[in-house]
Amino acid sequence: YWTVAGLIELNRNAMPAAAEAFEQAIAAGQVEPLVQLYLAQAYFSQEQWVRTVETIERAGGALADITAAWSMRAHALWMQGRRQDAMGVLTEAARRFPANSTFTRRQIFYLIESGLYQEASRIALAFTARADVGADDYAAIGGALRRAKSYDQSLGILESARLRFPANDNIAKSLAQTY
């Protein structure tokens, strides 16, 4: 009953009620790992970062193959100010899921947010060497570096993007803004 009630509340976007229902389901003996993920999602949506991390960690290895759990955990850690832990989660997630570029992309933006532009540039250059990275990725990274006033790093990323995507208007605009 509590699991179904939680799913209904989750679907209605009533996150406090969903969290309460999932907690009741777990207390009643529900052991399905996805219930832990749903509970973490309900806490995450309410910006209850500590509870999000606790829920994911309580599930243990049961959520290890679910990329959403890694993303939520990293962001919740970041929002708690546990930046090194968040970066460690993203590094491990990128290693475990090499085809998923969102973890490396998030690392780059977190590094830029932290003012670690050289490290962000180093990772961004390796990241942009991937075949699945598109012009929008280059533009986003270059733009973030520009907004952080890291102009040389921004130009390096955007110039390589211009070589790779010579007809892309967004790259040209980002490059013009940076210059």
User: Which parts of the chain sit beneath pLDDT 70?
Assistant: none
3-state secondary structure the chain: CHHHHHHHHHHCCCHHHHHHHHHHHHHCCCCCHHHHHHHHHHHHHCCCHHHHHHHHHHHHHHHCCCHHHHHHHHHHHHHCCCHHHHHHHHHHHHHHCCCCCHHHHHHHHHHHHCCCHHHHHHHHHHHHCCCCCCHHHHHHHHHHHHHCCCHHHHHHHHHHHHHHCCCCHHHHHHHHHHC
pLDDT of residue 140: 86
pLDDT of residue 159: 92
As to burial, measured by CB atoms within 10 angstroms (0-12 exposed, 13-18 middle, 19+ buried), residue 163 is exposed
Q: What is the pLDDT of residues 49-95, one digit of tens each?
A: 999 999 999 988 889 999 999 999 999 999 999 999 999 999 999 99
pLDDT of residue 38: 95
